[in-house]
A = this chain, B = another copy of it.
Amino acid sequence: MSETVILGVEALTGRAEAIFRKAGLSSRHAAALARVIVAGERDGCKSHGIYRIEGCLRTLKAGKVSPDAEPILHDDGSAVLRVAAGGAFSCTAFELGAPVLAERAKRLGLAALAINDCTHFSALWPEVEVLTGMGVAALAMCPSYSTVAPAGGSRPLLGTNPIAFGWPRPNQPPYVFDFATSVAARGEIELHRRAGRALPEGWALDAEGEATTDPEAALSGAMLPFGGHKGSAISTMIELLAGAMIGDMTSSEALDWLGTTALAPRHGELILAFSPERFAAGRPGDPFARAETLFEAIVGQGARLPSQRRFAAREKTMAHGIVLTAAEAGHLDRLEAQGLDAVS
């Protein structure tokens, strides 16, 4: 086994931030990006950890994301808030909007935040967890770019369109799920290809729209939605609500604009926040205590709550640091030394 490097969360955040600043991101964007990337690494969620830095730099180098646009909050006092991200990464826009969204949900019971014109590369759970930390439940969703065929279809049209939900829990991490509405993530198909393994049935279509278990054929064809026509309907709803409705790109438009699936996509995002206290007002029982009864019943019959593996990894890294392989550490060194020259 090659040597590993152990870094604290703060130290790794500092390194990621330095890489982004050197690549030309403003301090504000560099810091926001570093936070979500290190959150992924901290939670053992390698697919959304430092692995993503290179994709961000490539998107920057291709001129497909603004390095320094300042997000602008539009607030007319209603239940719908908007942050115009100005073509920059979404993280800063979210950080600007989140506290206002939570406050508005507490005042009106329910509120929405639309983020427009952002490049979105992070998982949704970091955002949902920021909101549960503010005492509200949250439902987040966004398009992606066309890689998924609708159920019964033959060609890529929908994105992997993630949906995430969070519910605050007293004295412990929130109830959180976050998943792609495709049956598998594109990265999983890529992993099968590299390993020379066939895909499970029902994951993908080839370029002719026929079912395939060949990962190579799948990558030039289309992925399928999870759960057949039901998942396909949810994915379509995400295109409508977090694309057409908020006046931002659908997955099809995002792919046209970007011209490739190799860079982080530009589109919008929709986040709903609910105040359980406001919804439960005047009704019997405390909503948070009643939710715990439900969670206990789930765990009590041997099922898992989502995100538990991630929370366990977090506990470990918070106590013992983040472990990087020698290759990962070397990659970071190279990105830090060479900046945008390190990526093609």
Contacts and interface: CB of A to CB of B under 8 A. Distances in A.
A342 B232 CA distance: 42
- List the 8 closest A-B pairs by CB distance, nearest first: A247-B283, A227-B227, A80-B109, A153-B303, A177-B233, A152-B303, A79-B108, A244-B290
Interface residues of A, number: 76
Contact of A287 (B112, B151, B237, B245): B245
A157 B296 CA distance: 11
The CB with the most chain B CB atoms within 10 A, among A151, A244, A304, is that of A244
Interface in A236-256: 236-237, 239-241, 243-248, 250, 252
A110 B167 CA distance: 20
A114 interface: yes
A120 interface: no
Interface stretch (A29-37, A63-71, A272-280, A331-339): A272-280
A302 interface: yes
Copies of the chain in the assembly: 2
A167 B243 CA distance: 13
- Decide if the interface of chain A is mainly helix, strand, loop or mixed: mixed
Interface of A: 74, 78-80, 82, 107-112, 114, 116, 137, 139, 149-155, 157, 165, 167, 175, 177, 179, 181, 209, 226-234, 236-237, 239-241, 243-248, 250, 252, 272, 274, 276, 278-285, 287-288, 290-291, 293-294, 297-298, 301-304, 306
Contacts of A290: 243-244, 250
Contact of A298 (B157, B272, B302, B303): B157
Interface hub of A165, A175, A240, A288 (most chain B Cβ within 10 A):
A240
